[in-house]
Copies of this chain bind each other. A is one copy, B any other.
Amino acid sequence: MSDSAKRNQPSRRQFLSGAAAAGAGAVTAAAAQAASPDPLITEVQEWASATGEGVDATPYGLPVRFENDVVRRNVEWLTADTISSINFTPIHALDGTITPQGCAFERHHSGAIELSKADYRLMINGLVDTPLVFTYADLERFPRENRVHFCECAANTGMEWAGAQLNGVQFTHGMIHNMEYSGVPLRTLLEEAGVQPEGKWVYVEGADASSNGRSIPIEKALDDVLVAFKANGEALRKEHGYPVRLVVPGWEGNMWVKWLRRVEVMDGPVESREETSKYTDTLADGTSRKWTWVMDAKSVITSPSPQAPITHGPGPLVITGLAWSGRGHVTGVDVSTDGGINWTPARLAAPGTDKALTRFYLDHDWDGGEMLLQARARDSSGYVQPTKAQLREVRGENSIYHNNCIQTWWINGKGEAENVEVS
């Protein structure tokens, strides 16, 4: 470590804690004000000799090499092979609310297929007055909407039913992303086809081998579902369903069918594999509940967390995380540092919006001791995020899906974080 770096290292803590700037190792006001060449100023100025690279050679830019650990990751034992896999968003390393497509979680059941706009077709059939087949160019001619929504896999946090398992918020809560979608309301296309009175459900399926077919009540299909072709302004990535996917705001990610190829209007649900043997919630008595589409209010602290430990000593610490609700918007988040005994309202970076991620901050003065960190979301329906014990009381421990429990990170005196359970 250079002399100047050594001098600089603890300065922040000194200033923040209001300690005298004359403390050992601190950059004192006097030192910084000293006549040039102060070695520290010289070090800063040395950068100015740097001429960088042109950018024309990289017309589509990638993250700088220093950030190449901020990527989607999978959990190898979770699926049998990469044809059916999950890749988790590195939410421990992100801030704000928008998820870049490049590192946004994705789940596929039979690989990410490559389907060109020219080859793309969307069929609407079944109980409609006029069955229709749309090309991609056709879809572009309908009135569009833009909306930011979160997409969360029903299995997000699912491994926690059995106790604190995976040590990293990317793995416990990273089956989520939040993007600005542009597309055509499904309602518009259904109205174009003319839904017949006996049409009470739609069955939606994708063009991949799994087809991933799901039944959706007609009320939702005519409400806020989008047939989307852009995410965060640009075309969907292949693994997010290029060129067209369904956006089903607030409902489990499995219903957001990718490579959308068909919407059939029906008089009842199909009871497909994806809504019977999968994506149902097995209860304590062995029976399963189905049609649990809505993702209930949830929150999690993304930093500090096991992958984002505290790397400094006592004093100012930004505690931050994400909150969301499939039933409306987040109205508040409370943070506890003692495992749920005392709660402090966090600061929302912006007022919560409908079925979208909300970023929260708690500007905390850390005493350097152990903490049991928790966050608890509240939403516009009046719902409050439950504890794991409360969830288990109703649901048992056999479920995989819909675990929206309060998460606990144990912070030790070194600032390291661990996934733990509190009773």
Contact = CB atoms under 8 A, between A and B. Distances in A.
A262 B133 contact: no
Contacts of A85: 54-56
A315 B142 CA distance: 11
Nearest to A183: B95
Nearest to A29: B130
A59 interface: yes
A24 interface: no
Contacts of A96: 146, 180-182, 230, 232-233
A106 B59 CA distance: 10
Contacts of A140: 318
Contacts of A342: none
B103 A234 contact: yes
A275 to B, nearest CB: 18
B48 A131 contact: no
Interface stretch (A65-73, A384-392, A396-404): A65-73
A231 to B, nearest CB: 8
A145 B48 CA distance: 29
Contact of A44 (B59, B94, B237, B261): B261
A143 B363 contact: yes
A43 interface: yes
Interface centre among A51, A125, A312 (most CB of B within 10 A): A51
Contact of A108 (B52, B61, B347): B52
Contact of A60 (B32, B103, B138, B317): B103
A95 B96 CA distance: 21
Contacts of A232: 96, 98, 100, 232
A181 to B, nearest CB: 7
A47 to B, nearest CB: 4
A19 to B, nearest CB: 12
Nearest to A87: B55
A146 B119 CA distance: 40
Interface stretch (A109-117, A214-222, A330-338): A109-117
Contact of A48 (B43, B63, B121, B211): B211
A33 interface: yes
A134 interface: yes
B121 A67 contact: no
Interface of A: 8-9, 11-12, 15-16, 21, 27, 29, 32-33, 40-41, 43-44, 47-68, 70-74, 81-83, 85, 87, 93-104, 106, 108, 110-117, 119, 121, 123, 125, 129-135, 137-138, 140-146, 180-182, 192, 207-209, 211, 229-230, 232-235, 237-239, 242-243, 259, 261-262, 311-312, 315-318, 320, 347, 349-350, 359, 361, 363
19 contacts: A8-B135, A27-B132, A32-B123, A33-B131, A40-B121, A47-B113, A50-B113, A52-B108, A52-B110, A53-B111, A53-B112, A54-B85, A55-B239, A56-B87, A61-B101, A62-B102, A66-B243, A145-B349, A146-B359
Given A64-B114, A96-B146, 4 more contacts: A12-B137, A33-B125, A48-B211, A65-B114
List the 6 closest A-B pairs by CB distance, nearest first. Answer: A54-B82, A52-B111, A12-B138, A59-B71, A52-B113, A32-B131
